[in-house]
Amino acid sequence: MPEAATAPRKFTLGEYKTDVHVDWCPGCGDFGILSSIQQAFFQLQLPPHRVALISGIGCSGKTPHYVDTYGLHTLHGRALPVATGAKLANHQLTVMALGGDGDGYGIGAGYFLNSGRRNLDITYVVYNNGVYGLTKGQASPTLRKGLKTKSMPEASIQEGINPIAVALGAGYTWIGRGYALDVKHLVSLITQAITHKGTSFLDVYQTCPVYNDLRTKEWYAGEDIGHSRLRRLDAEADWDPVVHDPANKDEIVQKKVRALAASYDNDDRLAVGVYYKIDLPTYDDQLAGKIPALKEHPLIDLPLYERDVEPLFKELE
């Protein structure tokens, strides 16, 4: 009589949490993002040893300390190139890069741009609060011109960048935006980003109660205008972010233009949800096409160093 098949191991939510004390400021939106990441991993039942979280510098950079997976706290603005290396070395990993708006859109802007065009199968989540929270609230690249937080001596004289617009131009194949304090919706967006085959980018509106006294929880709730400032794209009957025919350039342009328009909504109606999605060949798959052995084994398992490299060193003497 054949033996019964062993049921797949079921991971608990607690297995995605560490015992490290979470020391963000009370009321910080980072708590919502952290919880959403852990819940997304749990819903997808990702084996913790098959997940790598790569972060930059800033308050967001602490996230890997609180998630019980592989994690690497890297240099300022360098989360994406490190995540790229991790995925190329072991394509069996689920790789997520994390950073703040200063980390990702300031010093890391060049990596943000070029990571989009590669379409490597990784996810990039940016905690966007308009300030450099770790260094006492200076204006970040996303703070709009004319705004002045309580830690700034003068109002900003530079225009804030539009991350969604940059991502559309850079070639990200899944683009979304969430809100840190709407955990249920954010979990859905993170799971969609992870399961998308290609480079996913998720910008998250994140409250910083200590330094950004403009975009507060009450401001997002629209207590001063009588309605929420956030609108859900997926609740709109005619909203379809998916490019159904990747060979149809007209459809691509149409979907990108509509996503771009939604990203420029005024402060009374900020769009959250999936902006754009297209299925294209990934960098990983194209690389495996050139190196067939990668289809069977990750790069770390290939016998790259079995050859005698001593003659190569001799040539360099």
Q: Which domains does the chain have, with CATH numbers?
A: 13-315 (3.40.50.970)
Model confidence pLDDT, tens digit, residues 166-193: 999 999 999 999 999 999 999 999 999 9
**Among 289, 292, 298, which Cα is nearest to 87's?**
298
Q: Which residue has the higher pLDDT, 309 or 170?
A: 170
Average pLDDT, the chain: 90
Determine how β-strand 51-55 pairs with β-strand 174-179.
unpaired
Q: Is the pLDDT of residue 256 over 60?
A: yes
d(CA 256, CA 272): 16
Q: Is the pLDDT of residue 2 over 70?
A: no
Confidence of residue 154 (pLDDT cuts 50, 70, 90): confident
Model confidence pTM above 0.85: yes
Q: Is the pLDDT of residue 198 over 90?
A: yes
Question: What pLDDT score does 297 carry?
Answer: 78
CA gyration radius, the chain: 21
Mean pLDDT along residues 115-124? 96
Contacts of 225-230 with C-beta under 8 Å, sequence gap 24+, read 225/268, 229/267, 229/268, 229/269, 229/270, 230/179, 230/182, 230/205, 230/269, 230/270, 230/271, 230/272
Confidence of residue 3 (pLDDT cuts 50, 70, 90): low
Amino acid at the residue 222: G
Q: Is the pLDDT of residue 21 over 90?
A: yes
Question: What pLDDT score does 252 carry?
Answer: 97
Q: Is the pLDDT of residue 235 over 80?
A: yes
Distances (CA, A) of 120 to 58, 87, 88, 148, 287: 25, 8, 9, 38, 10
Question: What pLDDT score does 306 carry?
Answer: 64
Least confident range from 21-25, 35-39, 135-139, 216-220: namely 135-139
- 212's CB contacts (< 8 A; 6+ apart) are 129, 130, 131, 133, 137, 149
CA angle at 11 for the pair 277 and 25, rounded to the nearest 5°: 70
Mean pLDDT along residues 112-129? 95
Model confidence pLDDT, tens digit, residues 61-109: 999 999 999 999 999 889 999 999 999 999 999 999 999 998 899 888 9
Model confidence pLDDT, tens digit, residues 202-232: 999 999 988 888 888 999 999 989 999 999 9
Q: Is the pLDDT of residue 135 over 90?
A: no
Q: Is the pLDDT of residue 1 over 60?
A: no
Question: What pLDDT score does 53 carry?
Answer: 98
